[in-house]
Amino acid sequence: MTATTTERQAMTARELARIVLAGEQLFILDVRNESDYREWRIEGKSIDTVNIPYFDLLDGVDEALVHIPAGRRVLVVCAKEGASMFVAEQLVAAGLKSVFYLEGGMKAWSEHLEPVRIGDLAGGGSLYQFVRLGKGCLSYMAISRGEAAVIDATRMTQVFEQFAAEQGVRIKHALDTHLHADHISGGRKLAERTGATYWLPPKDADEVTFAYEKLEEGRDIAVGETTIRIQPVYSPGHTIGSTSFIVDDRYLLTGDILFIESIGRPDLAGKAEDWVGDLRETLYHRYKALAQELNVLPAHFGKTSELGEEGRVMATLGELYRSNPGLNIREEAAFRREVTGHLPPQPHAYREIRQTNMGLLAPGDEEQREMEIGPNRCAVHDR
């Protein structure tokens, strides 16, 4: 991607992701409607952004030029691509250099997954985190001796298949920590495409229409010479079946129970008052009994401030007990009030997403994209 150009150029979601993760400077002109921009936008440590709707720029881009700092690389963003191409062309005609439009628009941004290496596993294996910057979703792949397990896969299963092929490994297991409500799981589809075993907590699977392997306490899942140990860390609260994974005695995959700056919400099945007690029991007792040196790897993040070195979303359990507000509410009554009284809006189309993940609905590709548009809202304190 050329740094300076006198013509508009396309910037791919992958290129944008690497700019965000590297903390590079970028000025974004978002030409979507104000309501869409307020709901969900591209963010990053060194990213500045302004929203001027496309229809306000049809007769000229003077209003935008006032906001754009001299000499900055500029990215124009819209929902799908077309409007940003037009505006980028007008900016170049007005004399700006280094002007780009986001190829595929926010739809492409929502679907991009960026693999980040977390660390080594025993026996020569590796653990990778797949960061979905446009949605805040996090998936994982544990690799050891020619085999792989994918945890909390998104519906873009080709990303995991391609990565496994590049690593020369076969996907043997696909696992979901719980029945997701904010995005469509790719776990079952990935298992079907690769011949892997699909695992799901049985307490979340009362209404599913497909076969699965029961993800229960005490069952060890072997991946090459690494073992993903499903210890007695049944961790309900976000859902009644939520189950955490301990990988290689070093990593705690918490699903949507515990995040870096917040905790999971208990209301996406309409049972907040029933499940808030389970959530507290998991966070304040079950997790408290685990080794505090475990590296917490959640299934989501809510803010770019949770992105660490090279984009990793990770912190030790001990660090989170010191810094995470959701882990420092002493009185149970206060915890209940805080959790049930400060819930963000529910995810877009979450009922339909849950039904899709149960196998009760079978939406097409475009409908699935529309169902997932917007930020994740799995945490109590998000946004």
Looking at the annotation, which residues are catalytic? Answer: 78
Q: What is the dihedral of CA 294, 238, 227, 185, to 10 degrees?
A: -130
Query: Rounded to an integer, what distance in angstroms lies between the CA atom of residue 84 and that of residue 77?
Result: 5
Give the chain's largest Cα–Cα span. 65
Instruction: Kindly tell me the burial class for residue 250, based on how many C-beta atoms sit within 10 Å of its own C-beta (0-12, 13-18, 19 or more).
Output: middle
Q: Which helix (H) or strand (E) holds 371?
A: helix 365-372
- Tell me if 235 sits within 8 A of 279, measured CB to CB: no
Sheet of 125-132: strand order equals 114-121, 125-132, 137-144, 147-151, 170-175, 197-200, 213-214
Through-space distance between the first and last CA atoms of the chain, rounded to whole angstroms: 33
Would you say the C-alpha torsion 294, 297, 303, 305 has a positive or negative sign? positive
Instruction: Kindly tell me the burial class for residue 74, based on how many C-beta atoms sit within 10 Å of its own C-beta (0-12, 13-18, 19 or more).
Output: buried
DSSP 61-86: SHHHHHHSPTT--EEEE-SSSHHHHH
Phi, psi of 116 (to 5 degrees): -130, 130
- Tell me if 223 sits within 8 A of 247, measured CB to CB: no
